[in-house]
Amino acid sequence: MTQEAPARPRPTPYPAHLLTTPTGDLRHLPGHDGLPLVGSTVEYFADQEAWSVNQNRRYGRVWRSNILFNVGAVFQGADAAETILLDRDKNFSSLLGWSQNLASFFSGGLMLRDFDDHRFHRRLLQSAFKRPAVEGYLAQMHPLITGAVASWPAGATLRFYPRIKRLLLDQAAAVFLGMPLGADSDRVREAFTALTLGTVAVVPFAVPGLAKWKALRSREYLVRYLRGLIPARRGSDGGDMFSHLCREADEEGGRLTDDEVVDHMIFLLMAAHDTTTSALTTLVEALGRHPAWQDRLRDEARGLGVEQLSWGDFDRLPLADQCLREALRLYPPVPTLPRRTLRACEIDGVAIPANTAVWLDNYFIQRDPAHWTRPDDFDPERFSEGRAEHKRHRFSWIPFGGGAHTCIGMQFATMQAKLVMFHLLRRYRWRLDGRGETRRQMIPFPKPGDDLPLVFEGVDR
Ligand code: HEM
């Protein structure tokens, strides 16, 4: 007799008004409301880094703000991060926090689920992130990385950001979706780029030709495309992430429906590639500015004495690990983590009403002088065993978040970044193209405003 799968938890049924009613009264917090209607949106977009630091100077680690038609409380302390991310009393909704930016394009993704429903889905996704699956992805990545990196022109200036974005999107098509490179993967790549841009559309309506409209059309295309592939993937033994999601069931027989597989895949592609693109861009830029560190990492990579990295090699690159951590500290690819309170509560000694937007500013937390020595410096030694500054507070280094919604792709991202670095370092030495500091664009993901022009020179391998 077949055992019936247990009833699945239903998505948390929040009343619609939670999203549309104004946030609770925050006038007891310091802060300013900015201009009528737009609040501080203009100030914020003009320079998000300076904004975060200046507000802290004026108001301390908790203040109210009004951005993108949304009033909320900003928290810049590691203690607040611990309270919000561990969420022991189930006070904070990730679904409602992220909905304003992501619901139209990424509904059904893991971050847009709460509590029992979230746990149920996270368990079903977990097998696609376990060692055997990740080992399979890594094997597929090697030839793609070596092929792409080898084709970069030595001696000429190239903009790193679009190159690495393209490389990671091609990898995502292969490793996540199991697609060969070609016309379909080009179309998927374009659709994805438009979808991400929709999350920061200045005009929040679907006006034909503008960003939100393009993003919604791109989502429709991706849904149609992925749905069409599901029947074949349900029965396949493919090693790509999509096939894993189509096939896996949890111990109790739970399985994802077609709609859920599509929603999760679209979310995963977004969550995975822009974040890692941003992290690698920050790291490669820092190594361009600090050639001595670049040389140390190159020596470390060569010292392994292998042409390709296998599972056990990733732990044998401690300096690369320190440098990656430092890049993620200086420019966390997700610099703000939004939540919405479900009931009145206290965070870091401050009363916050129910139904209120709270934003965790991990860009600031990761540079808080309370936890970091000379926080604006690129100083990977701070992660060495001797100094271990990241151990001063459990929640002072949170580029992958924390608690129930901790990044499910953390291990995958770390390995992928090290893999790319391994191949870059062994093939090239790079330097900045004579430029000084350029303003960083923080939204939707941090990157240098000029896309990081670099000169790559070949090195003996
Ligand atoms: C350097 C790369 C990455 C960074 C910095 C990063 C960062 C984050 C952060 C901060 C969160 C938590 C958001 C919150 O609590 O509101 C998160 C969640 C998530 N990430 Fe990542 N991520 C990265 C790469 C990846 C990759 C490669 C994947 C998939 C292959 C992925 C999939 C996800 C998913 C599915 C969630 C939602 C988890 C949940 O809600 O349970 N991420 N990520």
Per residue, what are the HEC states of 111-152? HHCCHHHHHHHHHHHHHHHCHHHHHHHHHHHHHHHHHHHHCC
12 in a domain, yes or no?
Answer: no
Question: Which among 242, 243, 201 is positioned nearest to 218, based on CA atoms?
Answer: 201
Q: What separation, in Å, do the N-terminal and C-terminal C-alpha atoms of the chain show?
A: 61
Decide if 284 contacts 160 (C-beta within 8 A). Answer: yes
Distance CA 72, CA 355 (A): 10
Distance CA 296, CA 287 (A): 10
Inter-CA distances, 118 with 112, 133, 307, 348, Å: 8, 22, 40, 26
161 in a domain, yes or no?
Answer: yes
Testing ligand 1's pocket by substitution, the residue of 120, 275, 442 carrying the most ligand atoms inside 8 A of its CB is 275
Residues with CB under 6 A from ligand 1: 94, 110-111, 122, 268, 271-272, 275-276, 279, 333-334, 337, 399-401, 405, 407-409, 412-413
Distance CA 93, CA 99 (A): 10
Number of the ligand 1 atom closest to the C-alpha atom of 417: 1
Residues with Cβ < 8 Å from 126, sequence gap 6 or more? 408
Distance CA 291, CA 455 (A): 13
Looking at residue 101, what is its pLDDT? 80
Distance CA 428, CA 156 (A): 12
Cβ neighbours, 10 Å, residue 134: 19
Q: Which helix (H) or strand (E) covers residue 214, if one does? A: helix 211-234
10 in a domain, yes or no?
Answer: no
Residue whose CA is closest, atom 21 of ligand 1? Answer: 407
- Cα(413) to ligand 1 centroid in Å equals 9
Looking at residue 17, what is its pLDDT? 67
Number of the ligand 1 atom closest to the C-alpha atom of 328: 5
- Identify the sign of the CA torsion 125, 126, 127, 132: positive
Looking at residue 16, what is its pLDDT? 66
Number of the ligand 1 atom closest to the C-alpha atom of 337: 16
Residue whose CA is closest, atom 12 of ligand 1? Answer: 401
Number of the ligand 1 atom closest to the C-alpha atom of 339: 16
- Cα(401) to ligand 1 centroid in Å equals 8
- Cα(275) to ligand 1 centroid in Å equals 8
Decide if 138 contacts 423 (C-beta within 8 A). Answer: no
Cβ neighbours, 10 Å, residue 251: 6
73 in a domain, yes or no?
Answer: yes
Secondary-structure breakdown of the chain: helix, strand, coil percentages, each rounded to the nearest 5:
50, 10, 35
- Cα(134) to ligand 1 centroid in Å equals 16
2 in a domain, yes or no?
Answer: no
Question: Which among 48, 81, 417 is positioned nearest to 200, based on CA atoms?
Answer: 48
50 in a domain, yes or no?
Answer: yes
| Residue 343 tokens, joined | 């009931």
Looking at residue 1, what is its pLDDT? 38
Residue whose CA is closest, atom 20 of ligand 1? Answer: 407
366 in a domain, yes or no?
Answer: yes
Question: Which among 44, 45, 50 is positioned nearest to 437, based on CA atoms?
Answer: 50
Q: Domain total for the chain?
A: 1
Looking at residue 14, what is its pLDDT? 77
59 in a domain, yes or no?
Answer: yes
Q: Which residues pair with 93 in a beta bridge?
A: 340
Inter-CA distances, 234 with 37, 143, 156, 237, 315, Å: 49, 27, 46, 9, 35
Number of the ligand 1 atom closest to the C-alpha atom of 406: 12
Looking at residue 192, what is its pLDDT? 86
Residue whose CA is closest, atom 40 of ligand 1? Answer: 111
pTM for the whole structure? 0.95
3-class DSSP state of 24: coil
- Cα(410) to ligand 1 centroid in Å equals 7
pLDDT tens digit sequence for 193-236: 899 888 877 777 889 999 999 999 999 999 999 999 999 999 89
β pairing state of 357-361 and 336-341 = antiparallel
Segments forming the whole domain that contains residue 199 = 17-458
- Cα(272) to ligand 1 centroid in Å equals 7
Decide if 371 contacts 393 (C-beta within 8 A). Answer: yes
Domain with residue 89: its CATH number is 1.10.630.10
Number of the ligand 1 atom closest to the C-alpha atom of 338: 16
Number of the ligand 1 atom closest to the C-alpha atom of 278: 1
Distance CA 195, CA 220 (A): 10
Half-sphere exposure of 154 (CA within 13 A, CB side): 9
Residues with Cβ < 8 Å from 420, sequence gap 6 or more? 145, 149, 164, 167, 280
Query: Which residues of the chain have a pLDDT value below 50?
Result: 1-3
Phi, psi angle pair for 144, to nearest 5°: -65, -40
Testing ligand 1's pocket by substitution, the residue of 177, 323, 407 carrying the most ligand atoms inside 8 A of its CB is 407
Residue whose CA is closest, atom 41 of ligand 1? Answer: 405
Number of the ligand 1 atom closest to the C-alpha atom of 279: 1
